[in-house]
């Protein structure tokens, strides 16, 4: 359980229903606390269906700023540079009070939140046993907000009318 707590945060408690609790999707109808480890100094939020077209691209397609910005501005992906590798605690909430917000489309409702190195590409999609987490939402448009306090990230995900992301440079926190 120590390794799972390292991956998912200090407050990780395995589900009684499932010995592999991280294989189950999480319903975000109340605040959830998790954590991730990144070796690319990035965190990504996206619907798996929104990046299906990247499945057979190079594994590091997103390292090209032009490709990264195109996907952010198309509302397919939110990827944020964190300034350093390591473990980050995540608070995932359903509220609008988070300052920096971006518009994302969730066509399937199957959302991945995890390290940038797990992004769809190179013939692979993220798998929960390798890091990150999956959340299930109703398909549609959402506002995703981000705040950072040292190694703690707060991510808000709320239903929203679609709005334009006008990102000209990679996002860093």
The string of pLDDT tens digits covering residues 1-37 is 333 334 444 433 333 333 343 344 444 443 455 788 8
Span 86-108, average pLDDT: 86
Strands 32-38 and 86-93: antiparallel
What's the CATH fold of domain 2-12+33-172? Substrate Binding Domain Of DNAk; Chain A, domain 1 (2.60.34)
Span 65-83, average pLDDT: 95
Taking the C-alpha atoms of residue 164 and residue 167, their distance in angstroms, rounded to an integer, is: 9
To the question of pTM greater than 0.85 for the whole model, the response is no
How much is the pLDDT for 95?
A: 74
Burial 128-157 (b: 16+ CB within 10 A, else e): beebbbbbebeeeebbbbbebeeeebbbbb
Q: What percent of the chain has pLDDT over 70?
A: 79
How much is the pLDDT for 32?
A: 58
H or E stretch at 78: strand 78-81
Burial class (CB in 10 A: 0-12, 13-18, 19+), 125: middle
How much is the pLDDT for 97?
A: 67
């Amino acid at each position: 359980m120590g390794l799972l707590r390292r991956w998912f945060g200090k407050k990780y408690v395995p589900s009684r229903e499932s010995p592999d609790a991280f294989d189950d999707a999480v319903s975000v109808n109340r605040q959830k606390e998790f954590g991730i480890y990144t070796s690319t100094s990035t965190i990504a939020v996206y619907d798996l269906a929104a990046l299906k077209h990247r499945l057979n691209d190079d594994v590091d397609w997103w390292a090209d700023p032009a490709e990264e910005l195109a996907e952010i501005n198309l509302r397919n992906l939110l990827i944020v540079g964190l300034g350093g590798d390591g473990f980050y605690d995540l608070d995932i909430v359903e509220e609008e009070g988070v300052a920096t917000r971006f518009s994302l489309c969730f066509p399937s409702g199957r959302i991945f939140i995890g390290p940038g190195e797990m992004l769809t590409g190179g013939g692979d999609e993220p798998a929960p046993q390798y890091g990150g987490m999956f959340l299930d939402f109703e398909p549609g448009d959402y506002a995703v907000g981000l705040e950072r306090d040292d190694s703690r990230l707060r991510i808000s995900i709320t239903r929203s009318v679609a709005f334009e992301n006008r990102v000209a440079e990679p996002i860093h926190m």
